[in-house]
Homo-oligomer: A and B are copies of this chain.
Amino acid sequence: MKNFSFIENGSTTSTPGFKAAGVTAGFKRSGAPDFALLFSEVPANAAGVFTTCRFAAAPVRYCKEILAKGGKLQAVSVNSGIANACTGKPGLEASRKTAALAAAKLGIAPDAVAVASTGRIGVQMDMALIEKALDLAVPQLSSDGGNDAARAIMTTDTVPKAVAAKLEINGKTVTIGAMTKGAGMINPGMAGLHATMLCFITTDADIDKDVLAGMLEENAQNSFNRITVDGDMSTNDTVLIFANGVSGVKIAAGTQDEADFKAALLEVMKNLAHRMVKDGEGSTKLVTIEVVNARSVEDAKMAAESVANSLLCKTAWFGNDPNWGRIAAALGYSGAVFDPDKCDISIDGVPVMTQGGDAGTPESVAAEVVKKDEFTIRCDFNDGDSNYWVWSSDVSYEYVKINADYHT
* Residue among A332, A356, A395, A408 with most chain B CB within 10 A: A332
Q: Which residues of chain B come closer than 8 Å to A399, judged between CB atoms? A: 315, 400
Given contacts A86-B358, A325-B86, A408-B323, whether A332 and B53 have CB atoms under 8 Å apart is: yes
- Say if the beta carbon of A230 comes within 8 Å of chain B: yes
Which residue of the partner chain B has the closest CB to A338? B54
Given contacts A312-B185, A328-B121, A338-B54, whether A404 and B318 have CB atoms under 8 Å apart is: yes
State the copy count for this chain: 2
Given contacts A55-B329, A319-B403, A353-B86, whether A312 and B230 have CB atoms under 8 Å apart is: yes
Size of A's binding interface in residues, CB under 8 A = 68
B403 and A232 form a contact (CB under 8 A): no
- Say if the beta carbon of A351 comes within 8 Å of chain B: no
- Say if the beta carbon of A276 comes within 8 Å of chain B: no
- Name 29 A/B residue pairs within 8 A (Cβ), A-sorted: A51-B333, A53-B329, A53-B333, A54-B331, A54-B336, A54-B337, A121-B325, A121-B326, A122-B325, A122-B357, A185-B312, A185-B329, A187-B333, A230-B311, A231-B231, A231-B310, A232-B311, A232-B326, A234-B329, A235-B328, A312-B408, A316-B404, A316-B407, A318-B400, A319-B405, A321-B404, A326-B408, A396-B400, A397-B401
Enumerate chain A interface residues (CB-CB to B < 8 A): 51-56, 83, 85-88, 91, 120-124, 184-185, 187, 190, 230-235, 309-312, 315-316, 318-319, 321, 323-326, 328-333, 336-338, 340-341, 353, 355-358, 363, 395-397, 399-401, 403-405, 407-408
